Each structure stands twice: as structure tokens, then as C-alpha cells.
Chain A
Amino acid sequence: MPMSETDLRTHAEEIHDQFSDRLDVTVDEIEERLETLVDEYQVPVSEARRSVTNTYLDEAGMDRDDLMGGGGNETKQVADIDAAEEWIDITAKVVELWDAQSDAVAQVGLLGDETGTVKFTKWSKSDLQDLEAGAVYSLRNVVTDEYQGRFSVKLNRTTTIEDVDEDIEVGDDSVEVEGALVDIQSGSGLIKRCPEEDCTRVLQNGRCSEHGEVEGEFDLRIKGVIDDGEDVHEVIFDQEATEELTGIELEEAKEMAMDALDTSVVADEMREKTLGRYYRVRGPTLGRYVLVNEMAQLTDPADPESALIKARSI
């Protein structure tokens, strides 16, 4: 999206304010420098602003820390990340480090602050210091990304990493939903997944949409719908959660399918055991799904008293 003149003008004015008592520079000059970077060199505005600011820092003999508001990025909390391709600063703890699946990625894992967690990727070519699990860092100039409704941050060549000497109590971004399980959708029960490395796609009639006909590995899953009469929530139970919900374990499910020469008996049995009952589930969201980590069937006796008081007071 092209940057409008007025936006650059605003950036120029802000930079001008930061240096006006140290340097003899006009808003027009600053705007011109920004324009050159943005229009001719196609540099993102945040980068252009950073570059121009650095130039003036050098000229004024100042440090970045001397400036109010740093490099002009917004400092965000993890839960507030709600758009892709934003340049932001965050202070977060390394909650988990995962195995990088590609040489292009130096480190990948989960960052967290009080408001929740977010995936991060650090590129090999960015040549940044290694992050340590459990450590807290101030990260400036990371860029946000989005994939299927989930946000992540990417550390890049321009990112600065500073150790922060304080701990963060990482918040839980899980959601909780409660209601009746009104549907178990197709693709639930005993399923087969593609065995190719890093694929795990669910097979349709023995075929993977990516790798064609493959042997397949058995797994359990439920794609369900929890409905409280006001809203519907689509929820996914992985193997462990499905076993807990239904009391049917993978081995047993395989035997059931073998006896019946049909895998659909497993989903049928699961429907019979769970549909129409009330549950409370909890877990992180992925796109429109809640990935169930914890669950409880609501079996405590319902109390009519408070509803009765409400009804009588109408």
C-alpha cells in the first residue's frame, strides 16, 4: 500500500520534534529523506524512519536511548497483536524453543508476556544472538505475521535484542467455552494421517492431498460443536483429549474398526457417548477452533433457584 504524503509528513514532524533543540533541521528536509527511502528505495516506513533517525542521532552525537519514544515503533503486548506486517517492540519471555524445521530458521518457539503467548521465528540470515529458554528480552523492531488466523512475530536483521533482568509471569491466552455438545462432524473418530515427515494431513480414502496414496497412521480426533444457545464454538479434541472425552483409547478404537471392517463405528460410538451432554472445555484457539486441553463434563445438579428469582421478578 503506498504511503500517503500526510503520513510521511507526520513521521517527519515527530522526528523533527525529537531533534529540534539539538539540530538545525527542518521538517521539509526530514520529509524529503523519508520520501527518498520510501518511494525510491521501497523501504518500509518504519525502516525509513529508523534510518533517518539514526542519521540525525549520529549528527547530534546522541544515543537512541536519549530519545523519547525510541525508534517510533509501537510497544505491544502479545495479546494485542492483531494485524500482520506491523513493526513493533515487545518485551517477552522465551517460553519454549522448538526444533527448527529448516536451515533458513535459526530459532523458533514461543514468546510470552502477561497477556499471552505468540510464536516467534528468528531467521538464520539475520545473524542475531541466540535466545535462551526462560530468559526475558526486550525485542525492538520485530515484524508481525499471520497464518490461518494465528499471529506470530519474526525477528529480522534490524531487530535489536536486549536482556531484561526481570521475570515475567506469562499469561494464559486460552479460552473457555461451555455448553452442550450438539455435533460431532465428519472427519472425527478413528482417522489416518499421512506418515510423510512434517505432513500429518488427514487422509481421504487412503490418499493425502499432498503425497497421494500412502500407508497412513491411525489417530483419534473429534471435531465437535459446543453450543450454549447464544453462540456456537467449534472445538477440536486431539488423541489424548478424545480418549479422555470418550473413554475410547486408540488401540480399542482400532479393534472396534477391525471387528466391524469399518472405521465409522468408532465415531458412531463416540457420538452415542457424548452428544447432547454439557461440557466445559479450555484451550488455545487456532483460527475458528478451540484446541481442547482441558475438559469437564458438567454433571453437578442444576440449581433452579436463581432462574426462578429472575422469572418472578419480570
Chain B
Amino acid sequence: MSSTPTREVARRVFAREFNDATYTFKESDDERAPVYVLLPTGQRANRVFLVGTLTETEDVGEDSEYWQGRVVDPNGDTFFTYAGQYQPDAASMLRELEPPAYVAVVGKPRTYETEEGEVNVSVRPESINLVDEATRDRWVVETAERTIERIQRVGGDSTDEYVEMAREQYDEGVTGYKRMVEEALESLEAEQAEASAD
């Protein structure tokens, strides 16, 4: 059988950790080889799936349309997503959607270095879709579970290639992310309690 290129898994990550994932690398010298960002919890990501609240859209393009969307997770952290002429479907979604709205985004992590030498991480969307609150809640719990698994691995004695790479590249450690996961889940619990009290 001919070998089919394996499709990259869409990783689940909260915005704070995603925005901290400033280290990028390739697995080969091939120009077309996929670029990965390294999550601080020790996993490579070439695709992400996120669901959150679209709070603002803005055309930041100069010559042609270039849409920025801000998607906020339960911790109040923001995913920045940018769509231009090469992402026509996602760009028209950002043009048409009225914030606030729950959206699901599938996309590729991209990094950009500012003039001040800071690295910004954003999402180049493959698709943006309007979804409901139940889908958002499911994503929060799922992303919490995946993140917990990664924190446990990186905090343990795992010798996984990307775990070791993360220990080397990021000095901050992962204890902050443990608190972040708890807060995300606690805020979801509070929301649900409020909803059932109504």
C-alpha cells in the first residue's frame, strides 16, 4: 500500500500555554516539512482545535483584507487568529460573525517575532465555525484532561523526546498551568451552578 502522509492531530491547549509556546522547530531540513510549536508541557503541535468566545473581530489589513479574531478561553486568556486572502472561508466568517459568539477553530500555530524581539503565537485558521455552549464546555473539560496528562508526564520521569525538549527550552516549569487548569474547570462549574439556579 502506498504510504499516506499521516494527518497531524489537532492538539488541545488553553490560550495561556499556547501563547507561551514560542519555540518552533522542524523534524527535517525539507523546506516543506511541517513546522511545530513546542508546548511547554512537552508536546509538539502542528495543528490545534480550540473553542472559545469570539470577543472581537477587526480588519487589520493594509492593502487587502486581513482579519484578526480574538477568541477567549475560560481563564480570560486570548487566542489570536488571523485570516486573509489565503483563508477565504475563515476570513469571511470573521467578517460576518457578530461577537460575542462561541466559535470552534481548527488551525495551524504560527509564530511572529516583533520588533522588540518578542515572539507572538497565533492561529492560522483552516476553519471557523459557530458552535453552542455545550460544545464549548466539552472542549474546556477535554482540554483540561489533555493538559493534566501532559503536566503529569513532564513533571514525572518521562524521557519522551518532546518532554525533554520542553524541559530544556522553557525555564518557567509547569506549575502555573496546573493552577490554570483548575481555574478553567472551576469557572465552568460556577457557570453551570449559576445556570441551574436560574
Nearest-neighbour CB distance to chain A for B68, whole angstroms, equals 20
The reply to whether A308 and B186 form a contact with Cβ atoms under 8 Å apart is yes
Q: Given the complex of chains A and B, what is the CA–CA distance between A272 and B189 in angstroms? A: 29
Chain A contacts with B in 286-314, Cβ cutoff 8 A: 288, 298-305, 307-308, 310-312, 314
Chain A contacts with B in 257-303, Cβ cutoff 8 A: 268, 271-272, 275-278, 288, 298-303
The reply to whether B148 and A230 form a contact with Cβ atoms under 8 Å apart is no
Residue of B nearest to A275 (CB): B129
Nearest-neighbour CB distance to chain A for B161, whole angstroms, equals 17
The answer to whether the Cβ of A21 comes within 8 Å of any Cβ in the partner chain is no
The answer to whether the Cβ of A191 comes within 8 Å of any Cβ in the partner chain is no
The answer to whether the Cβ of B182 comes within 8 Å of any Cβ in the partner chain is yes
The answer to whether the Cβ of A256 comes within 8 Å of any Cβ in the partner chain is no
- Interface size for B (C-beta < 8 A) is 46
Residue of A nearest to B155 (CB): A314
The reply to whether A276 and B135 form a contact with Cβ atoms under 8 Å apart is yes
Q: Given the complex of chains A and B, what is the CA–CA distance between A40 and B151 in angstroms? A: 64
The answer to whether the Cβ of A225 comes within 8 Å of any Cβ in the partner chain is yes
Residue of A nearest to B188 (CB): A304
The reply to whether B189 and A232 form a contact with Cβ atoms under 8 Å apart is no
Task: List the B side residues contacting A130 at CB < 8 Å.
Answer: none
The reply to whether B4 and A288 form a contact with Cβ atoms under 8 Å apart is yes
The reply to whether A311 and B178 form a contact with Cβ atoms under 8 Å apart is yes
Q: Given the complex of chains A and B, what is the CA–CA distance between A180 and B49 in angstroms? A: 8
Chain B contacts with A in 71-129, Cβ cutoff 8 A: 89, 103-106, 126-127, 129
Given the interface pairs A182-B10, A275-B104, the reply to whether A311 lies near B131 with Cβ below 8 Å is: no
The reply to whether A301 and B192 form a contact with Cβ atoms under 8 Å apart is yes
The answer to whether the Cβ of A61 comes within 8 Å of any Cβ in the partner chain is no
Residue-by-residue, is B1-26 near A (CB-CB < 8 Å gives 1, otherwise 0)? 10010111111100000000000000
Most buried by A among B11, B51, B144, B178: B144
Q: Can you list 24 A-B contacts (CB < 8 A)?
A: A180-B49, A180-B139, A183-B127, A227-B10, A229-B12, A229-B142, A230-B9, A232-B10, A234-B7, A271-B129, A275-B127, A276-B106, A277-B129, A302-B134, A302-B138, A302-B140, A302-B142, A304-B140, A304-B189, A304-B192, A311-B178, A311-B181, A311-B185, A314-B151
**Chain B interface (Cβ within 8 Å of chain A)?**
1, 4, 6-12, 47, 49, 51, 89, 103-106, 126-127, 129-131, 134-135, 137-146, 148, 151-152, 155, 178, 181-182, 185-186, 188-189, 192
